[in-house]
Amino acid sequence: MKGCGRKVLSTGGGGFLGQKLAAALRANPSIAGTPVSGLILADLAAPPPMDASFSVECVAADIGDAVAVNQLFSDAPDVIYHLAAVVSGAAEADFDLGMRVNLAGTMNVLEAARTAGNLPIVIFASSVAAHGGEAPDVVPDGVELNPQSSYGTQKAIGEKLLQDYSRKGFVDGRGVRLPTVTIRPGVANAAASSFMSSIFRDTMQGKSANCPVSKGFKVWHSAPRTIVANLLLAAEVRAEAFGFNRCINLPGRTDTIGEMIAAMTYVSGPAAEARITWQSDPIVEAVVSGWRSEFTPTKALGMGFIADNSFEDTVRWFLEDDIVSK
């Protein structure tokens, strides 16, 4: 990465959010008023090449491999988006893989950032799945993490490590607990929450999709556009604004599946809902019912992080960003 300016590294840079974040940086290549001078997109397979006003390197690197991770840090990036992860359903199905990628991989990233020695900003994509179990029905800030899945546990441990690496002055860590990000484009993935996208994405494109939970099931969610805006802001807010807790609940919206379907119908007409099938899936239900669906993210809102105004907006943005332009 050449030139002065912000050198950005994105692990999981070929994934859903990694690609949207890269596109947002290309469209607005500055962080806190400093131009972006380079971007490394790293993933298991090299992400597709991208043209931008700054240099872009697309590289294959397994974050479970400490040597490969150290190579990503050879030019001491100063903003790291740590997005690479094995998603919830996959981490639950394969405990060893989840531990290797979500826990050991996060440690590899933090150690490489520490060794680089330039006190980089590290933005860690944590998850609402870090909360659960015996927690208030509406989760305020400051509630202990009580994850009820391997994925949530790996994210919670990652948060604690980020906190301590920040306390020690090794990195400037910013952990953001993402709500379920919907509507995700492309094909279904191994996230337990995958149906929360497919029942909208696939049905609006003429395919059927199964909903394994009832219409009354509540979801804490956020649109991709909003999440990308919040990820960008996470690199810009002053470190002091985080205080003694480097990890925050991001804003989101609570809607039932039924309310979300009604919003889709309002924007795109009734045909899509008729394509939804309603077969329960005890395995998916067991994981997603362990996630909390209502939060009061007072701290994040005070720091300027944003939530969606409606799920209708999410549907419109999906049609604009992921269907019309593709």
Ligand X SMILES: NC(=O)c1ccc[n+]([C@@H]2O[C@H](COP(=O)([O-])OP(=O)(O)OC[C@H]3O[C@@H](n4cnc5c(N)ncnc54)[C@H](O)[C@@H]3O)[C@@H](O)[C@H]2O)c1
As measured in angstroms, the least distance from the Cβ of 185 to ligand X is 10
As measured in angstroms, the least distance from the Cβ of 4 to ligand X is 28
Checking DSSP bridges between strand 79-82 and strand 121-127, what pairing results, if any? Answer: parallel
Question: Which C-beta is closer to ligand X: that of 94 or that of 273?
Answer: 94
As measured in angstroms, the least distance from the Cβ of 168 to ligand X is 23
Instruction: Confirm whether 151 is a catalytic residue.
Output: yes
| Contact partners, residue 310, CB within 8 Å, separation at least 6 | 253, 263
Question: Which C-beta is closer to ligand X: that of 62 or that of 141?
Answer: 62
As measured in angstroms, the least distance from the Cβ of 197 to ligand X is 8
Write out the two tokens for 325.
Answer: 């332009």
What is the number of alpha carbons within 13 Å of residue 245 lying toward its C-beta? 13
Distance from C-alpha of 41 to C-alpha of 184, rounded to nearest angstrom: 20
Question: Which C-beta is closer to ligand X: that of 180 or that of 293?
Answer: 180
Question: Which C-beta is closer to ligand X: that of 194 or that of 268?
Answer: 194
SS3 readout for the chain: CCCCCEEEEEECCCCHHHHHHHHHHHHCCEECCEEEEEEEEEECCCCCCCCCCCEEEEEECCCCCHHHHHHHCCCCCCEEEECCCCCHHHHHHCHHHHHHHHHHHHHHHHHHHHHHCCCCEEEEEEEHHHCCCCCCCEEECCCCCCCCCHHHHHHHHHHHHHHHHHHCCCCEEEEEEECEECCCCCCCCCCHHHHHHHHHHCHHHCCCEECCCCCCCEEEEECHHHHHHHHHHHHHCCHHHHCCCCEEECCCEEEEHHHHHHHHHHHHCCHHHHCEECCCCHHHHHHHCCCCCEEECHHHHHCCCCCCCCHHHHHHHHHHHHHHCC
Distance from C-alpha of 272 to C-alpha of 315, rounded to nearest angstrom: 12
As measured in angstroms, the least distance from the Cβ of 134 to ligand X is 21
Question: Which C-beta is closer to ligand X: that of 83 or that of 145?
Answer: 83
Question: Which C-beta is closer to ligand X: that of 125 or that of 204?
Answer: 125
Write out the two tokens for 60.
Answer: 């294959």
Question: Which C-beta is closer to ligand X: that of 39 or that of 101?
Answer: 101
Minimal CB distance residue for ligand X? 15
Chain residues in the site for ligand X (CB under 6 A) = 11-12, 14-18, 43-44, 62-64, 83-87, 101, 105, 125, 127, 178, 180-181, 189, 193
Are 19 and 13 spatial neighbours (Cβ–Cβ below 8 Å)?
yes
For the annotated catalytic residues, the residue numbers are 151
